[in-house]
Amino acid sequence: MTGTIDEFVGVYDADGTVVGELSYWIGARLGRTHCSLCELTHGLFTEKREWRECSVSLGVPFTTWHRNDAPTEVTAAIEFFPAVVARRGDSLSVIVDAETLESFAGDTRRFAEHLRALVTS
């Protein structure tokens, strides 16, 4: 798919409820739960400063959702969570899939560089 990217939309493989957040946090500490997008954007308790800086530098808005609170049009475009979707006008398509997110191994800078390359291509 070609065209200017208007927005990135990331969807975590976690639920955004209090119970969901707590379950994910505990499960991640015990090695039972894993979301590679969470590892790229968040530290132990809060959003990574490095991610905030990188996401602002993209020049394209980057919105995040949990799988249970993401807009239906976004989740309909995703087969496996987590994922990053690109919005181009009225079109949505997965631009970074779960496998690719995993390949960054929590390296926020490499992830941001990958996104920047997608914006400029």
**Mean pLDDT, all residues of the chain:** 89
Asked if 94 and 73 touch (Cβ cutoff 8 Å), the reply is no
Domain boundaries, the chain: 7-120
CA–CA dist 45, 17 (Å, integer) = 15
The whole-number pLDDT of residue 27 equals: 67
**pLDDT 10s digits, 3-58:** 799 999 999 998 877 777 777 777 667 777 789 999 999 887 788 999 999 888 89
- The answer, yes or no, to whether the previous bond of 82 is cis (omega within 30 of 0) is yes
Phi, psi of 58 (to 5 degrees): -70, -30
Global pTM reads 0.88
Specify the residue for token string 């400063």: 49
CA–CA dist 15, 66 (Å, integer) = 5
